[in-house]
Structure 1
Amino acid sequence: MNKDAEIDMKDVELNELDPEKQPMTGDGQAPSGEKNGSVKVKVPEDEVSFTGLSKEELMQVAGTPGWVRTRWVLLILFWLGWVGMLAGAIVIIVQAPRCKPIPEMNWWNEGPLYQISDAEAFAGGLEGVENKLDSINQLKVKGLVLGPLHSVQADRLSTLNLLEVTPNQGSQEALLGVLKKAHKKGISVVLDLTPNYLGADPWFGAGTSGEVMEKVKAAAERWLDLGFDGIKISDLGAASGFVDWSLLQAAVQGNRTEDDEKKRALMGVVENVSAPEVLELVNTTGVDLVLSDLLSSKSGGVERIRDMDALSAEQRSLGWGLGATQRDQLSKQAATAALIRLYQLLLFTMPGTPVFSYGDEIGLPAGQGPDSPKMLWDLDQEPAEGAVVDEAVEAQRQERQSLRAWFISLSDLRGKERSLLHGNYHPLHSSSSSLAFLRVWDQSERYITAVNWGAAPETMALKLAPTEELEWPTVAKVKMSTDDELSEDTLVELGKLTVGPGHAVLLQFSYKA
């Protein structure tokens, strides 16, 4: 076969349809003469795409008088708007009420103090106290007051050893363990170094004051060097009159500077003195916190509110307790769960630092005689399924649970609200068995405390003195209440507020510019 014939055969093979391009119908050419797999796309012949103005065209337009005027108008409008916004911001800042500066606050002003006078009764000793710090921390307390824990025999000065922990309470190592863990939780620790705490005279009598004060000073220096945050003593009136009183002051408060992140506290206890005498001790002794028994020793609302009125200006140096001065439980004077709630609310909202004894959060019954009451730790233990339940015991357990929740709610609220932390105090009402007062700070929420520990309902006409220049609403909202007739979040009239017997209510209203 010649070459021309071979070329013709190849042309025939190339012109044959590829099997993959055969119509799927298998019966020849695709419709309209189109081969299988081919797609026809119709492109409009007259379609024109917009490409914008060219550089030359833009330059021609930019120089026209109309466009120049437009640019100037836009520029002027921009700057006028900017200046207007700046002027408006300045007017708002100038006319807005200025915030009142926060007063100096120390750690003992920021929350309640919790006294554990007997570590053995509280948790089986200091190691037990360390194990219970998680539970204590839930109470949102800012400080623990421990002791007295030191070794001494009643009225025998020769046995006094302020650096040795009495064996039934634990050991120095256990005490330091409590300190370390408390600090990790943000809780400060104060040691009670009242020398003769088991005897009749806390200072063994005036004739030995020099020797005793020297021992207390040396012990204070030692314990503070180990990291403790303060020292507490009893009978401040007598101690501050000793010649060597300034030595103890210097040991606790010496070398303070404005840059100190945390100050060490000197805390003193006074009993059976009047409000003016407490005020004098605050101003003359130099102590950081004076804990008095005024609330315990006065049972009338008129006397109680008068004392609060006299001391409110020194609230950052004042501690309040009901039984705390004697290291007793609140239940010793508040016999019912309702009264315990009432006094918890009162202590948390008064102008000053609330001080509680261990167990006050659950209404722990006071001890019998000289023995300290054993703390109860089984509140969260529900009865076993199917077990025989003593209904009275179970009701008491649930009541103590409820008391603790009430305590925590109050502690949390006080720590958040400036009016309750350091706000001004204004008396509103008082009678033989009731009182009411207002706490207010600058532009913060305002709070009214009204309590009635009497046996009959008390109707109060709450109003400010005519000289007070504060806004005063006609109604306020119930924030917390022990009275079923005063439900939370309801509005009540301040001109005619009725509080049931043995009940307390905390009212709230907002600041208005």
Structure 2
Amino acid sequence: MNWWNEGPLYQISNVNEFSDNGLKGVDEKLDYLNQMKVKGLILGPIHSVQTDQTSTLELTSINPEFGTESDLQTLLDRAHRKGMSIVLNLTPNYGNAGISAWFNKAASVTEKLKEACIYWLGKGVDGIFLSDLKQIAKTEAWTSIQAIFNKTDETKKIALMGSVTDLSVDEVSLLLNHTSVDLLLTGLPDPGEAGIKQANVIQKLYASHPQTSLGWSLSGQILGSLASRSQSVPVRLYHTLLFTLPGTPVFSAGDEVGLKKGEKLQAMWDMESQADGANATAKGDHIAVHDFFKALSDLKAKERALLHGEYVSLNSSATSLAYLRLWDQSERFVFAMNWGSDSVSMTLVNEDLPAEGRVRATTNAESLPLDSMVSVKKLELGPKRAVLLSYPYAG
């Protein structure tokens, strides 16, 4: 495994929205992130550019609105001491009204991109992230960009990461083969699709590529917040899904507390302050979601089956999904979710499954209490519920 496979990654697209103090503010929040077992930050973009103006692009210069290079260096040093890596988003055109992430002509910025990759990696950045990867990967310069990342230092591998949206699973697979990026965020599986199709997407990607290259992210600048994408379904269902899929879960700032569209990131920092009335209710919801997120992240960090175990599909229907994660003689895990409006009864069949499993995470502690024992082979799940069960290796 590489460092980006050891726990969740956390995207901070706009450092000024995340904190009032830009890069210094991110530095001040490292303890908060460390408590959630975050292994790496995908930061920015933070470079200088005027929207849609290629001539103003300075990928090796930090926009003073966000801070200075000295601020970034301090952040790098402190993050590394906490075992956290920093990936810099170098997507060139990131203004609100941008014509395209690559100015509609990715080839025009490839030389600046190569120069910036070498520059920032030399400063100790642990990886580079590129949005709309398909555009830059089509250029003749892509091979020379790849070559920068094929040089591995003696202690820690640097990562080339990217993201795409609105591609089919077959298109994603072709792109992974062509680009050989270390981690690709795909926006798949689509929460709006039927469980059968989601299961097929997961199986295709898992069967065709090493799980170390699969980044599971359902949120971001283009996709929106995780809670907004799943408005009819509690966000904790998708937390559980992302933390248990074979690969790396990637969240956007605010996903860990279930921020919805229109809610500001400041709500994360308000969790420690006094609140009353409607604010108290919202604060309570955010705290509950945050605690659930942390518990899942703790499990991911210490359970080998969840970190790098095999994935076995067990059941799928229009509104439900279930699968098994297992590794060698380690504890096994069964994940099941039902985002429909009716209860479901899942018949799970696999020679490894026992009669019962222990509840390790649940979105409904009343009917499926933590640490209770429930039937595995005939699993009953209420509407809009998810559960994570475990059982020991039986030999």
TM-score tier by shorter-chain length is: over 0.9
Question: Aligned to 2:200, what secondary structure does the other structure show?
Answer: helix
The structural deviation recorded for 1:296 is 3.5
Deviation at residue 380 of structure 1 after TM alignment: 2.0
Deviation at 1:166, TM superposition (A): 1.8
Q: 1:113 and 2:40 equivalent? A: no
| Cα drift, residue 335 of structure 1 | 2.4
Structure 1 residues 297 and 219, CA gap change in structure 2 (3 angstroms): farther
Q: Match for 1:299 among 179, 185, 193?
A: 193
Q: TM-score, normalised by structure 2?
A: 0.94
Partner residue of 1:323?
219
Structure 2 distance, partners of 1:237, 1:448, is 34
Structure 2 match to 1:479 = 360
- Whether 1:270 and 2:156 are equivalent positions in the alignment is no
Q: Do structure 1's residue 347 and structure 2's residue 246 form an aligned pair?
A: no
User: What SS does the aligned partner of 2:358 have?
Assistant: strand
Which AA in structure 2 matches 1:352?
G
Aligned partner of 1:504 among 377, 386, 391? 386
Aligned match of 1:308 = 202
Query: Over aligned residue pairs, what C-alpha RMSD do you find?
Result: 1.8
Flag the 1:131–1:378 CA change in 2: closer, same or farther, 3 A: same
Any residues of structure 2 matched to 1:63-102 within 5 Å, and which? none
- Using the TM superposition, name which of 318-327 and 241-250 deviates more: 318-327
Q: Give the residue type in structure 2 aligned to 1:474.
A: A
Correspondence 1:287-436 to 2 at 5 A: 287-296=181-190, 298-313=192-207, 314-324=210-220, 326=222, 328-335=224-231, 339-367=234-262, 373-382=265-274, 389-390=276-277, 392-436=278-322
Letter in 1 for 2:159: A
CA distance in structure 2 between the partners assigned to 1:197 and 1:212 by the alignment:
14
Separation of aligned partners in 2, 1:373 and 1:183:
25
* Conservation of the 8 A alpha-carbon contact between 1:457 and 1:500: yes
Aligned partners of 1:327 and 1:214: how far apart in 2? Answer: 29
Hey, what's the Cα distance between the residues in 1 that align with 2:354 and 2:259?
39
- The 1-side partners of 2:384 and 2:66 are apart by 38
Question: Which residue number in structure 2 is paired with residue 244 of structure 1?
Answer: 141
How far the C-alpha of 1:475 sits from its partner, in A, is 1.8
SS at 1:486's partner residue? coil
Amino acid at match of 2:340: G
- What CA deviation, in whole Å up to 9, does each residue of 1:61-95 have, x standing for no partner? xxxxxxxxxxxxxxxxxxxxxxxxxxxxxxxxxxx
Contact 2:15/2:66, CA 8 A, preserved across alignment:
yes
Q: Which amino acid aligns with 2:15?
A: A
Q: 1:367, CA displacement in angstroms?
A: 4.0
CA displacement at 1:298 relative to structure 2: 4.5
What one-letter code is carried by the residue in structure 2 that aligns with 1:200?
Answer: I
SS in 2 for 1:160: strand
Any gaps of 5 or more consecutive residues in structure 2?
A: none
Contact 1:475/1:491 (8 A) holds in 2:
yes
Name 1:494's counterpart in structure 2.
376
Q: CA shift at 1:229, angstroms? A: 0.2
Cα distance in 2 for partners of 1:460, 1:151 equals 53
The Cα offsets for residues 242-281 of structure 1, whole Å up to 9 and x where unpaired, read as 0001121122x13226xx3210000011111121222222
Q: Deviation at 1:398?
A: 1.8
Where 1:279 maps in the other structure, the secondary structure is: helix
Say which structure, 1 or 2, has more relative contact order (CA 8 Å, 6+ apart): 2
1:121·1:375 contact (CA, 8 Å) conserved in 2?
A: no
After TM superposition, give the deviation of residue 418 of structure 1 in Å. Answer: 0.7
Partner of 2:86: 189
Moved more, 237-246 or 486-495: 486-495
Shift of 1:189: 0.2
Paired amino acid for 2:367:
E
How many aligned positions are there? Answer: 389
- Alignment-derived partner of residue 459 in structure 1: 345
Question: Alpha carbons of 1:272 and 1:360: their partners in 2 closer, same or farther (altered >3 Å)?
Answer: same
Q: Are 2:23 and 2:75, in contact at CA under 8 Å, matched by a contact in 1? A: yes
TM superposition shift of 1:202? 1.4
Who is 2:334 aligned against? Answer: 448
Task: Decide whether the 8 Å contact of 2:354 with 2:377 is kept in 1.
Answer: no
Question: Residue 201 of structure 1 is aligned with which of 96, 100, 115?
Answer: 100
Structure 2: distance between partners of 1:266 and 1:195 = 15
AA aligned to 1:149 is I
Q: Distance in 2 between matches of 1:276 and 1:430?
A: 20
Q: Could you tell me how far 1:363 is from its partner in structure 2?
A: 1.0
Provide Cα deviations, 1:12-66, integer angstroms capped at 9, x if missing partner. Answer: xxxxxxxxxxxxxxxxxxxxxxxxxxxxxxxxxxxxxxxxxxxxxxxxxxxxxxx
Distance 1:162 1:471 in 2: 52
TM-superposed CA distance for 1:334, in Å, is 2.4
Contact residue 345 and residue 381 of structure 2 kept, 8 A: yes
TM-score normalised per structure 1: 0.73
Given the superposition, is the C-alpha separation of residues 297 and 438 from structure 1 closer, same or farther in structure 2, using an over 3 Å criterion? closer
Residue 45 of structure 1 corresponds to none
- Contact between 1:292 and 1:325, CA under 8 Å: does it hold in 2? no
Equivalents in 2 of 1:321, 1:277: separation in Å?
Answer: 17
Deviation string 1:385-441 (CA, Å, 9 cap, x unpaired) is: xxxx42x32122122111111111100100111100010011111111110100011
Shift of 1:320: 0.5
Most deviating of 164-173 and 438-447: 164-173
Runs of 4+ in 1 over 3 A off after TM superposition: 372-375
> What letter is aligned with 2:5?
N
Is the counterpart of residue 143 in structure 1 residue 40 in structure 2?
Answer: yes
The structure with the greater share of residues assigned to strand is 2
